[in-house]
Amino acid sequence: MREPQRYWFLDLYRGLIVFFMVEGHALRALLVSEEQRQPWFVFHELVHGIVGPGFLFGAGFAFAIATRRRWEQALTLSTHFFRRLWRAVLILIIGYLLHLPYFSLRKSLEGFSPQEWNAFLAFDALQCIGLTLIVLRLLLVTVRSERLFVSAVMVLLFAVAYATPLFWDPVRTADVPLAFSQAINGLNGSFFPLFPNAGFLLAGTLVAWLFLRERPEGKERGFINNLGITGIVLILTGLLLDLMPVQIYPVYDFWFTSPNFFWIRLGVLFLMLSGLWYFEYAVSHRRRPGVWMPKWLTVFGIESFFVYIAHLIVLYGWVLNPNQNASAWWGLNLSLLPSLAVTTGFVISMILLARGWNYGKKHHPVAMQGLYWWMGSVFLYYFVTNPW
């Protein structure tokens, strides 16, 4: 059975994740601190705690689909392999570039304060995704076997989940260099260190791989059913294990390092993905499926990386617009209704940007490639030549 070009339930999943990411970041950046202490906002933050893991999980799913479509080329040191590897490296580089405090290479090398170095080296979603994808690409060309690759990813998944409390131990990691420490834990301010966040991308890769293996045999529905059941089991098991009066790790924090909380969040993602598969199956048989799966939302999912980068620059600013961004204008200064209004406008602007970007890629691919090179070249030229 030939695989479809797109899995719409996955685009819908990623679209919802990106939608709530943009909404959550905007509301958190704009709403006054007093309002953020209200019970409704605490619940809002609890629900939005699944967005980051969901973004990484979707990246793993997309990696598996893209890799299986060109399996033979992924196993050799071919042009395709190096192109894909470069994309992963580029994601990592962009992640660090978004942390630049100065639009000058010279000033960046000579003028970084310790606090700025700490912020620059901090791991966010792009660094976590980029480095994990590099590891997966290298793993593929090393094992050169689907069975061994799937087994290795599963071993890595459990290793990341259960090693996280050890890598977050401040005593064990006291002498670790800052660049490495920022990559493996959040003790110095990283929001998405590899432990435990790489585990969500690994889990997305594993689930997608197993799903794609079952689909040609007509076992897609059974797999989705088992995925939902597994999600429920993970949630209940994680909750029950955390209630046990036994502490294995010397340093343990449920919200940041707990393997139990990791499995709970992964279980929620399993349930969400399986539910969206059934949703797509139900509405695709209706006369107007586009009403239930709006194009703007699926495009949001397709262009998730672009939206992620664009919304950070517009909302928080960058070296090119440090004072011309939403946080500089209204940060933590708006009451509930104005913040909701600005957040709504911000989300709509990201939707329009995503649709425009997607249209350009689809209808003018050569021009878009030229745009990528032009933007990169102009940025690099001024970054290198700016004296201070």
- Residue 226 CA to residue 205 CA, distance in Å, equals 17
Which pLDDT score is estimated for 2?
45
Tell me the three state secondary structure of residue 334. strand
- Selection from 165, 168, 176, 84 nearest residue 130 by Cα: 84
CB distance 360 to 353 below 8 Å: no
In a domain, 367, yes or no: yes
- Selection from 158, 137, 1 nearest residue 78 by Cα: 137
- Selection from 251, 331, 348 nearest residue 30 by Cα: 331
In a domain, 213, yes or no: yes
Task: Indicate the helix (H) or strand (E) that contains 354.
Answer: helix 336-363
In a domain, 60, yes or no: yes
Peptide bond into 196 cis (omega under 30): yes
Which whole-number Å values give the CA distances from 48 to 25, 44, 129, in the listed order?
10, 6, 19
Which pLDDT score is estimated for 81?
92
In a domain, 301, yes or no: yes
- Selection from 96, 94, 106 nearest residue 385 by Cα: 106
Query: Could you give the angle at which helices 51-69 and 259-283 cross, rounded to 10 degrees?
Result: 60
- Selection from 61, 107, 361, 321 nearest residue 200 by Cα: 61
The maximal CA–CA distance of the chain, rounded, in angstroms, is: 63
- Selection from 9, 10, 18 nearest residue 51 by Cα: 18
- Selection from 311, 339, 314, 325 nearest residue 32 by Cα: 339
- For the chain, residues with pLDDT lower than 70 are 1-5, 289-291
Instruction: Determine the structural domain holding residue 56 and report its residue range.
Output: 8-385
The 8 Å CB, 24+ separation contacts for 243-252 are 249/165, 249/166, 249/169, 250/169, 250/171, 251/165, 251/168, 251/169, 251/170, 251/171, 252/165
Which pLDDT score is estimated for 5?
56
Specify the number of domains making up the chain: 1
In a domain, 3, yes or no: no
| CA-derived radius of gyration, the chain | 21
In a domain, 2, yes or no: no
Which whole-number Å values give the CA distances from 87 to 130, 131, 175, 330, 350, in the listed order?
8, 11, 32, 35, 23
Sign of the alpha-carbon torsion through 47, 50, 55, 57: negative
Tell me the three state secondary structure of residue 340. helix
- Residue 332 CA to residue 315 CA, distance in Å, equals 12
Q: What is the pLDDT of residues 279-337, one digit of tens each?
A: 988 887 777 766 677 899 999 999 999 999 999 999 999 999 999 999 999 999 999 99
- Selection from 294, 305, 122 nearest residue 197 by Cα: 122
| Both tokens assigned to 368 | 């878009």
Residue found under tokens 């040609």: 216
In a domain, 336, yes or no: yes
**Global pTM?**
0.95
- Residue 23 CA to residue 147 CA, distance in Å, equals 40
Which whole-number Å values give the CA distances from 255 to 42, 127, 130, 136, 194, in the listed order?
14, 21, 24, 27, 15
Which pLDDT score is estimated for 265?
98
- Residue 206 CA to residue 52 CA, distance in Å, equals 18
Strand partners, 334: 31
CB distance 193 to 128 below 8 Å: yes
| Both tokens assigned to 128 | 């976590």
Which pLDDT score is estimated for 289?
67
